[in-house]
């Protein structure tokens, strides 16, 4: 006699067992990468943040704003942003589908042409297919800043106002006026009259960040300048950390970066003012921060 097939009863829909699905991994507020070469630090940080395509849509115009403040030193002196960090961001923006990537700053020490070259940034940007732009005086536009407390009508470089995506790439270093210069203060390089901002520097920096809002901030802490900033000039003041801090919130990125100097966010006036204006967060204990050892 042939075996009888066993037919299992079908359960009603109301008591069907649930389908198991993997929980999505939350995207961190900040990513800190350590222990690798600059390109690896950047790529691992952006991957953890959801990829460069999260910040750069296909066909977008992109500006990468590093710190290229002086024409006196090579990158080893930690006065200017690491050129390989900048070059990698340019490459990744094109990989995400950017139509154009421009890189610019307004040096206060020496000419822009010399500063671009001696920093090493020009070479890396052009190798990646990007364009170095000179911030010519006639291209600044007086712009209303409705949220400002002090800086109500700054003259801002027109490309900054028109771009689809702004990537802010400061180097972490000391500063004689503001204690430190990181992401928020790095945006002073897009304003024509920076001297006027020093009357109430902390508030003016916060005001500027209310107007110019980068989609992504990447803090270069491959080398940091621990004294005699912002121009430096002494290798004894440079500390090599091989670290990068990245995220969409410039206030949070700066708040984490101050710890590299043994400081707290509330010690920086521009961070305090930025939080008060609702520009970002400094409560790091309540943020999701992912730390990645790239060399591990």
What pTM did the predictor assign? 0.92
The DSSP letter of residue 182 is S
Averaged pLDDT for residues 23-46: 94
**Quick check: 215 pLDDT over 90?**
yes
Query: CA–CA distance from 220 to each of 9, 155, 184, 260 (Å)?
Result: 63, 27, 13, 12
Q: How confident is the model at residue 7 (pLDDT cuts 50, 70, 90)?
A: very low
The DSSP letter of residue 262 is T
Mean pLDDT for the chain overall? 93
Q: How many CB atoms lie within 10 A of CB 22?
A: 5
Comparing 20-34, 239-253, 273-287, the range with the smallest average pLDDT is 20-34
What pLDDT score was predicted for residue 160?
A: 98
What pLDDT score was predicted for residue 11?
A: 47
Distance CA 251, CA 272 (A): 9
What pLDDT score was predicted for residue 242?
A: 98
What pLDDT score was predicted for residue 277?
A: 98
- 3-class SS of residue 189: helix
> What percent of the chain is predicted at pLDDT more than 90?
88
Structural domain 27-293, CATH architecture: 3-Layer(aba) Sandwich (3.40)
**Quick check: 16 pLDDT over 60?**
no
Q: How confident is the model at residue 1 (pLDDT cuts 50, 70, 90)?
A: very low
283-292 pLDDT per residue, tens? 999 999 999 9
**Quick check: 15 pLDDT over 70?**
no
Q: Are 231 and 80 within 8 A, CB to CB?
A: no
What pLDDT score was predicted for residue 188?
A: 96
Q: Are 270 and 11 within 8 A, CB to CB?
A: no
Q: How confident is the model at residue 139 (pLDDT cuts 50, 70, 90)?
A: very high
Distance CA 17, CA 15 (A): 6
Q: Are 110 and 72 within 8 A, CB to CB?
A: yes
Distance CA 46, CA 41 (A): 9
172-185 pLDDT per residue, tens? 999 999 999 999 99
Element (H, E) at 251: helix 250-257
Q: Is the dihedral of CA 202, 205, 211, 213 positive or negative?
A: negative
The DSSP letter of residue 109 is B
Q: Are 267 and 178 within 8 A, CB to CB?
A: no
Distance CA 216, CA 63 (A): 11
Range 166-201 burial, b when 16+ CB lie within 10 A, else e:
bbbbbbbbbeeebbbbbbbbbbbbbbbebeebeebb
Q: Which has the closest alpha carbon to 274: 166, 151, 184?
A: 184
């Amino acid at each position: 006699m042939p075996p009888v097939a066993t037919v299992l009863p079908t359960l009603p829909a109301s008591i069907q067992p649930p389908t198991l699905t993997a929980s999505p991994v939350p995207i961190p507020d900040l990513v800190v990468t350590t222990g690798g070469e600059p390109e690896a630090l950047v790529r691992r940080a952006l991957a953890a943040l959801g990829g460069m395509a999260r910040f750069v849509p296909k066909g977008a115009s992109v500006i990468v704003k590093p710190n290229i403040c002086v024409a006196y030193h090579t990158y080893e002196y930690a006065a200017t942003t690491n050129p390989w960090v900048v070059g990698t961001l340019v490459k990744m923006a094109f990989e995400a589908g950017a139509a154009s990537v421009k890189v610019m700053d307004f040096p206060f020490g020496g000419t822009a042409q010399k500063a671009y070259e001696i920093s090493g940034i020009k070479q890396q940007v052009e190798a990646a297919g990007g364009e170095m732009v000179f911030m010519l005086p006639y291209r600044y536009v007086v712009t209303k800043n409705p949220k400002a407390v002090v800086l109500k009508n700054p003259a801002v470089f027109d490309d900054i106002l028109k771009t689809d995506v702004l990537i802010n790439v400061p180097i972490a270093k000391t500063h004689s006026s503001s204690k430190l210069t990181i992401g928020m203060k790095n945006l002073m390089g897009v304003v024509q009259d920076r001297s006027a901002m020093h009357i109430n520097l902390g508030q003016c920096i916060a005001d500027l960040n209310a107007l110019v809002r980068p989609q992504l901030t990447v803090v270069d802490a491959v080398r940091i300048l621990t004294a005699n900033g912002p121009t430096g000039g002494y290798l004894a003041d440079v500390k090599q950390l091989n670290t990068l801090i990245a995220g969409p919130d410039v206030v949070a990125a700066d708040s984490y970066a101050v710890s590299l100097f043994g400081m707290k966010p509330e010690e920086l006036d521009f961070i305090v003012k930025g939080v008060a204006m609702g520009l970002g967060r400094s409560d790091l204990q309540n943020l999701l921060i992912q730390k990645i050892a790239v060399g591990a």
